[in-house]
Amino acid sequence: MAEWLSMGGRGAYVWSAFGITALVLIVNWIWLRHQISDAKVKSKRLANTKERT
Amino acid sequence: MFKWIHKFGSPPFVYALSKAISPWVGIASLILFAWGLYMGLVKAPPDYEQGEVYRIIFVHVPAAWMSMFVYTVMAISSAVFIIWRLKLADVVAEASAAIGASFTFLALVTGSIWGRPTWGTWWEWDARLTFELILLFQYLAYIALRSAIEHKQSGARAAAILAVVGIVNIPIIHFSVEWFNSLHQPATITRADGPKMHPSMLIPLFIMVAAFQLYYFHHLLVKMRVGILNRDRRARWVRERIETKGL
């Protein structure tokens, strides 16, 4: 396991590349969930406002 | 015969379709990521020249390919928007910009990390690297231009023209390793005589490319729903959908 993690002494390069990739993809996904949730809330709020008037 | 194509110009249809298929596309992407990472990090053998550090290829190459693919999607949908004034085409372009910029950023950063131990430098003003950096600026310029113009229609149109004009950079990036004296490795996969990579490395690479593709499609589908809701919030079909299906 330790040998695999060290990646022949190049572990810092390999794992930082994969780590940054994972971080960017996860952050993008979280931001996407926030955007769709926000859009739905605004649409529902507008629909409720129109119903009351 | 082609009547069904017209449905894809309808926001309520595209919204419902996106909501139905985007979860499955996302799950498929996750499965492919898990499989690709296992194959690439565990099963694939070390490279005879670069040893283990070559494994960065399994994120660098998919990110680079996607950076160009997404820009192509953005440019084509922008052209459709300009020519046929199809609003959903503009939704596709807008939805693609940020994720395309992310892929380009990843291609540059992972490439830089790979370059340090192999070329001895984090950056070189090499043709491919430079034009890929220009691609990142193109994405950022598209996003900035849309936000800068107050009138949304004008902003969309200006950004669409920018996207279409910028497509010229895509073949330059692709052929730069042939046209210029480049430090970057020439093509090993997209060659006329077939890929020069061993299947034990090629298969994990293709799995990761598929994972990135499906990640993008999931992102695009959900982001299109955001774009449709932001534009059609006051439309009757949205109110009816809220009443019947909760949106």
In B, which residues are within 8 Å of A17 by CB distance? 56, 59-60, 109-110, 113-114
d(CA B222, CA B18): 7
Q: In Å, how far from its chain's centre is CA B113?
A: 21
d(CA B129, CA B115): 11
pTM for the model: 0.93
Longest dimension (CA), chain B: 63
Q: Which residue has the tokens 């994405």?
A: B139
d(CA B91, CA B110): 29
* Contact criterion met (CB < 8 Å) for B225 and A39: yes
Distance from CA of B99 to the nearest CA of A (A): 8
Give ipTM to 2 decimals.
0.92
Output the CA–CA distances (angstroms, integers) from residue B98 to A25, A39, B225, in the order listed. Answer: 12, 17, 15
* Contact criterion met (CB < 8 Å) for A39 and B219: no
Output the CA–CA distances (angstroms, integers) from residue A29 to A24, A32, B70, B142, B219, in the order listed. Answer: 9, 5, 17, 21, 8
pLDDT digits (tens, 9 = 90+) for A1-53: 888 888 888 999 999 999 999 999 999 999 999 999 999 999 999 888 866 66
Distance from CA of A39 to the nearest CA of B (A): 6
Distance from CA of A8 to the nearest CA of B (A): 6
pLDDT digits (tens, 9 = 90+) for B1-56: 567 777 888 999 999 999 999 999 999 999 999 999 999 999 999 998 888 999 99
pLDDT > 90 in chain A, percent:
66
The burial of B224, by beta-carbon neighbours within 10 Å (0-12 exposed, 13-18 middle, 19 or more buried), is given as buried
Strand partners, B51: B47
- Amino acid identity of A2? A
A16 at the B interface (CB within 8 A)?
Answer: yes
Report pLDDT for B187: 61
pLDDT at B190 over 60: no
d(CA A22, CA A26): 6
The secondary structure element, H or E, covering residue B61 is helix B57-84
What six digits make up the tokens of B237?
Answer: 């079909």
Residue B55 neighbours by CB under 8 Å, 6+ apart: A7, A14, B40, B41, B44
Give just the sign of the alpha carbon dihedral B218, B220, A44, B20.
negative
- DSSP 8-state secondary structure symbol assigned to residue B180: S
The minimal CB distance from A32 to the residues B106, B223, B242 is found for B223
What does B213-224 look like in DSSP terms, one character per residue? HHHHHHHHHHHH
pLDDT at B155 over 90: yes
